[in-house]
């Protein structure tokens, strides 16, 4: 077994997971192992997945079946000749997100960084530039917290806390090249997918951080930031919830709404509107850094 750390959890895994940070041997919070995952009847629309209380199962044609139980175990039943890169994409994305959900965390689709020590999150759908923005901000000396899966502890006493993930980003070749990387030397996430993986060698911030603000990415004619009113902010949090379709069958819909309510009552939520161009990243970065440094408004 290999020992790793992610989202504040000690993980023991049969699989080598180079994306994760080294962990401490013994007393694991999570065990990842291979084993048999029996056939199951899907209950998630548009997905070959099944979600039940404390038991979530996934099936991917090119990877295999995964089973997540009680927030402490992931069983992987890979197909023959499964590509290990794509297996890890599934494992460290939706499968790990399901485990975090089982552990009572609010799981959002986004990326997160620190600016001046303050934790902020970017929310947005696929292809909206969350990873690119996080990578660019990190290249300017800001801290990196997580990419794709944002885990929030909204049940803690006091401030809402963001739990750092692991030091790894997924980038398209043009974004990687703009950031000074060589896409040809980066690992493809899938043989048929052009997206690449990038492991950070520095700048990863560990330990829970009070969540200072949330920025929902949007398209605009100019770079601007606008405060979102609470009702609309709640809608945005629900819209950008990771695995939102799993809430009802797992019996956690009420908990999820309470968590979102705690977040919007404690953390300001904004629209970050910008033109969809890599060339606008310097202006966006300056706008964000100035905004975070100002009092909440």
The per-residue pLDDT for 155 is 82
Task: Give the mean model confidence (pLDDT) for residues 43-50.
Answer: 82
List the structure tokens of 74. Answer: 């992931």
| Rg of the chain in Å (alpha carbons) | 19
Task: Give the mean model confidence (pLDDT) for residues 67-84.
Answer: 94
Contacts 24+ apart (CB under 8 A), 8-13: 8/163, 8/164, 8/207, 8/208
The per-residue pLDDT for 296 is 65
Q: How far apart are CA 192 and CA 206, in angstroms?
A: 33
At residue 295 the predicted structure's pLDDT band, cuts being 50, 70 and 90, is: low
Alpha carbon 55 to chain centroid distance? 20
Cα dihedral 40→44→45→49 (10° resolution): -50
| Segments making up each domain of the chain, as ranges | 2-102, 106-293
Task: Say how many residues make up the chain.
Answer: 297
* 135-155 tens-digit pLDDT: 999 999 999 999 999 999 998
CATH number corresponding to 106-293: 3.40.50
Model-level pTM?
A: 0.92
Residue 272 backbone dihedrals phi, psi, to 5 degrees = -110, 100
Positive or negative torsion for Cα 239, 159, 9, 257:
negative
Residue 297 has pLDDT above 60, yes or no: no
* 213-258 tens-digit pLDDT: 999 999 888 899 999 999 999 999 999 999 888 899 999 999 999 9
């Amino acid at each position: 077994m290999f020992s790793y750390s992610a989202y504040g959890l000690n993980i023991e895994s049969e699989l080598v997971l180079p994306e994760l940070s080294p962990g401490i041997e013994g007393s694991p919070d999570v065990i990842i192992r291979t084993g048999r995952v029996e056939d199951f009847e899907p209950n998630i629309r548009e997905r070959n997945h099944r979600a039940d209380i404390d038991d979530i199962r996934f099936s991917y044609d090119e990877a295999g079946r995964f089973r997540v139980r009680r927030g402490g175990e992931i069983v992987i039943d890979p197909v023959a000749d499964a590509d290990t890169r794509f297996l890890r994409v599934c494992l460290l994305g939706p499968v790990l997100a399901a485990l975090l959900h089982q552990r009572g965390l609010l799981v959002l689709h986004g990326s997160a960084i620190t600016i001046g020590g303050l934790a902020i999150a970017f929310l947005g759908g696929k292809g909206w530039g969350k990873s690119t923005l996080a990578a660019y901000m990190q290249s300017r000396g800001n801290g990196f917290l997580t990419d794709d899966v944002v885990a929030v502890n909204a049940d803690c006493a006091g401030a809402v806390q963001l739990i750092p993930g692991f030091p790894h980003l997924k980038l398209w070749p043009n974004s990687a090249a703009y950031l000074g990387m060589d896409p040809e030397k980066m690992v493809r996430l899938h043989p048929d997918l052009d997206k690449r993986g990038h492991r950070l060698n520095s700048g990863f911030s560990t330990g829970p951080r009070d969540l200072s603000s949330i920025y929902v990415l949007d398209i605009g004619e100019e770079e601007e930031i606008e405060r979102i009113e609470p009702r609309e902010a709640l809608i945005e949090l629900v819209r950008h919830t990771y695995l939102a379709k799993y809430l009802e069958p797992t019996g956690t819909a009420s908990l999820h709404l309470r968590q979102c309510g705690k977040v919007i009552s404690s953390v300001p939520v904004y629209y970050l509107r910008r033109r969809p161009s890599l060339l606008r990243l310097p202006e966006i970065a300056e706008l964000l850094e100035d905004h975070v440094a100002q009092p909440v408004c």
